[in-house]
Amino acid sequence: MPSTLVIDSSVFLSAFLEKEVYHKDSICFFEDLKKVQYKIIVPSLVIFEVLNNFYRHGGNKEQEERIFRNLQNSSAFSLIPLDSNFLEKIYLPLHHHFDLKTADSIFATIAFFYEAVLISWDKKLISQTKKHIQALTPKEFLKHS
Amino acid sequence: MQKRELLQYKTISVQELRTNMPEISKNLEYGIGYILIRKSKPIAELRPIQKDDMLAREKVLDFFARPPKSMLIHSKKSAVQIIREDRC
């Protein structure tokens, strides 16, 4: 099992959605991450997607700020900014491997570049990327680890 | 530029590392990390030393493993549905 993970927005968001079917599994997943020193990569798009959707589904500005502070904390997560450097050295050379929508292709390309496991609750994204990268749901990841 | 907690990663080639070392060193002080690439593959990571990293890491992961009850939101949609709709 590779020691680098790229975590999709769906995993972070489900940790805050109490009635979501995967809520408890997401909680267990983050609990498990405390035990092993995985390198956890967070594309900066995660921050936008999680914060905006958290707010749109009932969160407030103060709560949003707390999530932001934690997501950008470098002791836990390696934030990958989607800047010209990323575009030139990672995205442009590699995104052709994936026939995906733009946001999905950003996650897949980063996982490909870092030889990381993509962790997502999105089974469609997992099946579409399987050919080129290792992609698992948090539940599957817990079984493997 | 101010010193900050946020660590952002930039990718650099071996050649860029050689030629831009003074600037890279300065950026490291300001919290910018580097992924060194050779032949389009990541080969090393250069990052500032941070104190109490382990404790801080656990605290952050704890926030997602045990989110405060007051921060839980309710939606009829699943996280995947929400993100999927957002990306359409």
pLDDT per residue over A98-129, tens digit each?
999 999 999 999 999 999 999 999 999 999 99
Question: Which ipTM did the prediction report?
Answer: 0.91
pLDDT in tens, B22-41: 999 988 877 788 999 998 88
Which backbone phi and psi does A136 adopt, to 5 degrees?
A: -140, 155
> What residues make up the domain containing A11?
4-144
A76 and B61 within 8 Å at the Cβ level: the answer is yes
**What is the CATH number for A133?**
3.40.50.1010
- Provide the pairing of β-strand A4-7 with B8-13: unpaired
- The verdict on residue B1 lying in a domain is no
- The verdict on residue B29 lying in a domain is yes
Which chain A residue is nearest to residue B72, measuring alpha carbons? Answer: A16
Instruction: Compute the distance between CA of residue A50 and CA of residue A12 in angstroms, rounded to an integer.
Output: 7
> What residues make up the domain containing B57?
8-87
B64 and A58 within 8 Å at the Cβ level: the answer is no
- The verdict on residue B55 lying in a domain is yes
Q: How confident is the model at residue B50 (pLDDT cuts 50, 70, 90)?
A: low
Which chain B residue is nearest to residue A112, measuring alpha carbons? Answer: B41
| B17 has pLDDT over 70 | yes
Per the CB < 8 A criterion, the answer to whether A138 and A26 are in contact is yes
Q: Give the pLDDT of residue B2.
A: 40
Looking at chain A from residue 93 to 122, which residues have their Cβ under 8 Å from any Cβ of chain B?
Answer: 93, 101-104, 113-115, 121-122
β-strand partners of A41: A6, A78
Helices (DSSP H) in B1-88: which residue ranges?
A: 14-19, 21-29, 53-65, 79-87
Number of domains in chain B: 1
Which backbone phi and psi does B32 adopt, to 5 degrees?
A: -95, 125
- The verdict on residue B42 lying in a domain is yes
Angle at B72 between CA A30 and CA A27, to 5 degrees: 15
> Which of B83, B58, B88 has the alpha carbon at shortest distance from A17?
B83
- The verdict on residue B2 lying in a domain is no
A79 and B9 within 8 Å at the Cβ level: the answer is yes
Write the CB contacts of A70 (distance below 8 Å, at least 6 apart in sequence): A76, B60, B63, B64
pLDDT in tens, A16-42: 999 999 999 999 999 999 988 899 999
Number of domains in chain A: 1
Most confident of A7-11, A84-88, B53-57: A7-11
Q: Give the pLDDT of residue B88.
A: 83
